[in-house]
Structure 1
Amino acid sequence: MKPCLSVGLLLLAATFHLRAENLTETCAACHGDQGQGNAALGAPRLAGQQADYLLRQLQAFKAGQRGYDPQDSQGAQMRAVATGLVETDLEPLARHYAQQPAPVSSATPGAGSAQGEALYQGSCAACHGPQAQGFAHLKTPSLRILDARYIERQLTHYTRGLRGGEAHADELGIWMRGIALQIRSAEDRRAIVDYLAGLSTPATPAAQQVGH
């Protein structure tokens, strides 16, 4: 390899590395320096999430298919951030956070989880997995690593059309809204969320520093 070509490739690699660091610094303001999330800000944990899901959500935010309704304040903020990204930024970001280790769960199902488990297995498990682990080929997220308030908020947004609305969302978002609408009551949503909280990895101290 010619010396000038070698130097050029090294400079290009250094440029990409520096840009990746700058991008993750932007994400860290809400999602934490290791992608651990911040429940107080409504920012979900990204570390250990399905890479294909993260990539699809970044694309959806950038295209206005998510975060389109101002009532979804966190989604609107994320849409504004994603709009400033170039297409080639998205996959490296998704892969970076997917490769970060998620804490090992030490939680156990709480009281009343039997109803939530039955509802989850009947409504959610086909796409998100029997253990809520998500599936890469379906671009569905692991729900185990998401905090309860985030999951409940997203289910509520789906039922209200703040996410998954037919005029805006992609096929997966529209499909998920249809599933959410089949969970007919707030009590059933709460039971599913409580069940998932029993499977979830514990929140990190950094994600608990500030309360609502």
Structure 2
Amino acid sequence: MKKLIAGVVFGVGLAAMAHGAGDPEAGKQNAAACQACHGQGGAKPIMGVYPKLSGLGERYLYDQLVAIKNNSRPIPEMTGQLDNMSEQDLRNLAAYFAQQEMVVSQADPDLVDKGAALYRGGNMASGVPACAACHSPQGKGNEPAGYPHLGGQNAEYLAKQLKAYRDGTRANSANASIMVDVSTRLTDAEIEAVSSYISGLN
């Protein structure tokens, strides 16, 4: 598992060097349409199963926009939304949302201890690594590697994604392969606890 993570980090690190920069001001113009579902600045989605886009990281956001556009990460609600956008448009959108502030949610107090233990220490018995190893102790992610800022994200969305990784419906990239391996070792109760904990992490 450690070798897999190290190899992916190295590979995405090389790719990041070739990753062009987006223009957040240009991205702001195209972001207006996104607000209907994701809220102003991508910070307050209208439903808990929709992600907060604010502050996730430019590389991660760009990679996901590309995957959604080419349908390697199918999301029914996003069908057709990006069809008329160029590669530079997607880079600009990613740059805009990456600069917005993540609004932290409220974790369930009853799940904090269990969630914190998983996030910070993993589960040695089942082979679950600590989330903090890739996403940082504060949940701020790893921009060069394309690991998203998780702290503050909607718990309902996080749980949905972990289950998508676990059942293989989200497995479209090298980074996703890491999450597939991790999530297959998580129980429903662990997913609920760690998702709730992350939603209040900052």
Structure-1 separation of matches of 2:69 and 2:35 = 18
Judging changes above 3 Å, is the alpha-carbon distance between structure 1 residues 17 and 180 closer, same or farther for their aligned structure 2 residues? Answer: closer
- 2:44 counterpart residue number: 37
Partner of 2:194: 192
Decide which moves more: 144-153 or 33-42.
Answer: 33-42
Which amino acid in the other structure matches residue 115 of structure 1? K
Equivalent runs, 1:1-212 vs 2, <5 Å: 20=27, 22-40=29-47, 42-67=49-74, 75-103=75-103, 105=104, 107=106, 110-121=109-120, 122=122, 123=129, 124-164=131-171, 169-183=172-186, 185-199=187-201
State the distance in 2 between where 1:146 and 1:152 align.
10
**TM-score where L is the length of structure 1:** 0.71
Partners of 1:198 and 1:102 lie apart in 2 by 11
| Closer/same/farther in 2, CA of residues 86 and 182 from structure 1, 3 Å limit | same
Paired letter, 2:139: A
Report the AA paired with residue 176 of structure 2.
G
Q: Which amino acid aligns with 1:28?
A: Q
- Partner of 1:136: helix, strand, or coil? coil
CA contact (8 A) 2:69 2:82 kept: yes
Shift of 1:85: 1.8
Unpaired runs of at least 5, structure 1: 1-15, 68-74, 201-212
**Contact 1:39 1:147 survives alignment (8 Å):** no
Task: State the shift of 1:76 in Å.
Answer: 2.3
Q: Which runs of 5+ in 2 are unaligned?
A: 1-22, 123-128
Count of residue pairs the alignment pairs up? 172
- CA drift at 1:43: 2.3
**Pairwise CA distance, 1:41:** 6.5
Given that 1:48 and 1:100 are in contact with CA atoms closer than 8 Å, whether structure 2 keeps it comes out as: yes
TM-score (norm 2): 0.74
8 Å contact kept, 2:48–2:157:
no
Alpha-carbon separation, structure 1, partners of 2:182 and 2:24: 40
Q: Which residue of 2 aligns with 1:3?
A: none
SS state of the match for residue 159, structure 2? Answer: helix
- Given that 2:107 and 2:198 are in contact with CA atoms closer than 8 Å, whether structure 1 keeps it comes out as no
| Structure with the larger helix share | 1
Secondary structure of 1:130's match?
coil
User: Is this contact kept in 2: 1:110–1:198, CA < 8 A?
Assistant: no
